[in-house]
A and B are shown apart, each in its own frame.
Chain A
Amino acid sequence: MNEALSYALPGIPYGCTFALVAIGLVLSYQATGVFNFAFGAQAYVAAVAYAVMVRHGLGRGIAGALAIVVLSPLLGLAIDRLVFSRIPSGNVAAKTIAALGLMVGLPAVVTIVLGPLQEAAPPSLLFDVNTVVLKVAGTPIDGVQLATVVITGVVLLVLTLTMRLSLLGLEMRASVESPRLLRLQGVSSQRVTSLAWIVSSSLAGLSGVLLAPRYATVSIDNYTVLLVAAIAAAALAGLESMGVAAIASIGMGMIMGLTTGYAPAGSVWSTGLLSAIPFVLLLGLLAVSPRLRRLGQSSDPLAGVDPPGVPVLPPERSHVLDRSLRVIGPVVLLLGALSVVTWLPASWVFVVTSGLGLSLVFLSITMITGAAGQVSLCQATFAGAGAFTAGQLATSFGVPVMVAALAGGLVAAGAGLLAALPALRLRGLALSLATLTFALLADAIAFPTSWIGGPPSGLTVPRPTLGPINFAADSTRPFFVLVLLVVVVVAVLVRRLLRGATGRGLDAWRQSPLAAAGLGYSPNKTKVLIFALSAGIAGLGGGLWGSLLQVVSPADFTYADSLLFVVIVVTVGARSVAGAIEAGVGFALLTHLAGYLPNRLSPTSVVAVAFSIGAFTYAAHPEGIVEQLRRQATTAIDALVRRAAGTTAVAEVRGSST
């Protein structure tokens, strides 16, 4: 018993660290209606700012105050005004995608501003991390831990009282339920929401600064780990009660303490299982709790009366443009492909091929996010499953790599089926959380296992040989042709699905599940098949991509890649097959081009920022930037055509009158 206590007790301050974040998640959800995936990134920004100011000799108090009371509120205000205030309250998918964009973009901005080197941990704001302040049942409690526990308690008390008892709290909750109703009551819902963002962002800043000394460096990864544990706790509380979220966090901290104590030390299972506990809890909860399944669904009684947005541009494209694209498109593509095969330098051939491989993974996002309207956050995991299967089969069992890649697709499809089981009952935000959990579980437990993810040095995925053609030849040209063929075949199939009964049915289901079912449309079988198919495509893409790289490791297929992929595809265009391919090749080319930027600017971050800004436009242009440009071109071309026609008509009239 004493032993158990001595394992569980240190879990309490540990639990408090993510309790603070969990409270923040519940607060921002209650007060702004956004499930704020970017909360960890906001905390990270404040922590970095604090660390930099202290390093430059500013006092800890002043630096902390500047970070928490000035910078964080401004960041919150900016996020609200620039991003979320432009998204209609009922559009859950757009909110989720914008938050993901911030989650990807904010750390990238920090990297661009400060350079790629990570800040060393700053000294603690309140107490020292190395001082043992007191001992509880023989367990030493250091300064940061004590401060965390105390501040968590105070924050919880103040916020709960504010949200429950004050008029402001009532207004915040009302503005989430229905901003229109609140406006009808004569309250500016915009002001209330901005205030809510300021408060929740300050809380993010507080947790960021407070927790920074716990780690060796100030790194976004630490805050992401905190965030996902906090997500589990916040979900446990149904995103409703900050108190329950805090208690759940502390409970989880204690369970994690116990697990560390009793699990055999050193095995992947002990470390993996430890980090997996919150996810397992979350996944189980999502499966059984009907309240969690409804997470994030709009309850605005006036949502139905939302006037349709003014159609800025016609959804149709100009026939002139369409016809010319139909001619010019293939010609350009053919010329492009020919250039790659003949004269393009080898490094560029590699880039284009990797873009094509990626576009297969992106096509899987087109199916789920574009057609079914659901945000899946584990597509990179499926790609990884495919790549690792291909590598293991090819290296350990001597299976030809193309067969192995197809098998990888099948294994990934199997994983997709597994992920689809909870997805059957979930949609919207709950589905996104479940898939994120699935990705994190794979990152923590499955991929680090050597018979899956290969040795630490990386898993070899050889290039294929096909009769006399050796695709491993020093140039990537033959392999490019192979990947291109696969992409074309898959693209045609996905296009048929989207244009056929499946795509139309999913479209109907996305817009009104009730009416779709009433028409005789059964979403479950289709959802499972779509999940499995898209996972299979991602797996095949992963296998080919791995074969291009020739060595893969778990670091190539993390949850963070899944997030970035979704952001990229949505930005470029998730509704069409062309969008996925443009996104894949475009991303590869942009990243390569950004390599020519001065290193100081950290090129990959520039690309990440560009795409995350693009993700903010999802609410206004769900069709994506490329399609959006085409429609803009349509209006321009139509105007030109009309003007040309108009002038001839006028000329004819004049001609007849003279």
Chain B
Amino acid sequence: MHRCLRMALVALLFLSFRARAGPPASADSDWQEGRLPRSVQEGTPRKGGTLVVRIDQEPPSLDKLTDSSLAIDWMLERKVLESMAEPDASRHPEYPLKPALATDWTISPDQLTFTFHLRRGVTWHDGAAFSGKDVVATVRKILDPGVRAMHLRNNFVDLADISTVPGDDFTVVARYKKPYFLAFRALATLQIYPAHLLATAGDMLHSPIHRAPIGTGAFRFEEWKTGDRISFVRNEQYWGRKAYLDRIVYRIVADPAVGFQLLKQGRFDLYVQLQPQQWLRDLEAEGLKSSVHRIKFFNPNYNWIGWNEERPWFSDPRVRQAMNYAIDTEGIRKSYLFGLDRPTTCHFYLESSACDRSLAPRSYDPARAAQLLDEAGWRGRDADGIRVKDGRPFRFTFLMNADSVFLEKLTPYLQQELRKLGVQMEIRKVDWAHFVKLVEEHQFDATSLRWGNTDVVQDPYEIWHSSQAKDGSNFISFKDPAADALIEQARTILDDARRNELYRRLGRLLHEEAPYTFLYSRPSLDAVSRKVRGIRPSVLWYDFREVWLAPR
């Protein structure tokens, strides 16, 4: 009997030891993949507590109207400021719209008139009442040429008129000059500002709401201590289900090594943007596996190498394809990027149906590259062994942003690979502010950048339409009538599925023409404390309205 008891005790100890020693196998695969386990969404939410979030950069302001910065979107959208409709974060990767400040809406058959019915009884954080006047005033502010709202104004160029219905401040009607699929989404998800404060806000830059926003959201702005922290508190007057968290504190810690030490000390509940080696190795090596979950999530972004088609070397698609074959993108991904980034061949969000998944990246094939260069007429060689065509040697300059760690590794490799093919590549490094100017002015032969977006629905017009080579973001001057036709046609189609069919065709065309060498989509690598519940990564970042803290 005695012995039995002891054996049971040992077994019990062993079991409890196992339970403590590590989560079961499935949890381990979650850890490996950077997925949050199901348990994070379970349990009864509990009110209270402060969520401390590490961010690495201080936003320039807390003003969506004047600044387009990711940190501003993270802190404000859907948390502090709200829109008439919002993308449904639980429906990845389509993110259809669901009601927010509007309860419902209608779109006229000609797709030119949008009518929004607004929620009643909503109040601003300063106590004033919300109405359609706020929506109208926000759009007017964006259209005001004295306000630095260029990044938002683009979405409203075709707006003919927006107003509330006479006698009904809770119905907003917007009329457009021509049908445009993004017009509706842009207006519906526009973060609304209070009209009574906009009236005196001038160019926004000198207004109190530039740094201390007033919204209708579940969290109110509390305090901004420059260089240190920005905090928000729960809005007790919120119209919807009130948030569980008492407070959110964003701590600005620029240095990644210091940030990691603070994470080890348990100072953060959510750590945004770990470095790849920290995420892959250090978290586990430093014993943090028992206190945090790893999160790896792909937002709409990709980096690319662009070949300037105004330059004599890159006007021929065969040359651009050759450049593609000359780069061992898979090898680079494994050796320089820890295999974390995902290869992509698509301009759109890689998990969206706008991408044709059957298009595989061109694999490394120097023989094919040489053959294509021959076919394109680059057959001659000069005294240095550099290919020549019509007396012009194949010598070009690769312009790069001097801060890029990735390009710092990629460009010497590329230089070496191209030299083997008889192509001479020089590397020019300039700082970011100078780089942006040179790229905008098309003063480069080849360069590399990353496009990022915060919505899965996007219009390729600004980047790929031939008209955008002047003044738009078509920096490489890609001009193709078939592509133009697809892009223009897609702009009039509101139905996602039908539009995405056109985008898949555009994708196949871009793959053939190879104006870019599409590289990778980069994941966000985050870590979240195991006591944080209800958290869910999405392309809209995290929604703290749902988050609560489990007791320890």
Q: Do A and B come from one complex?
A: no
Give residues in A with beta carbon < 8 Å to B: none
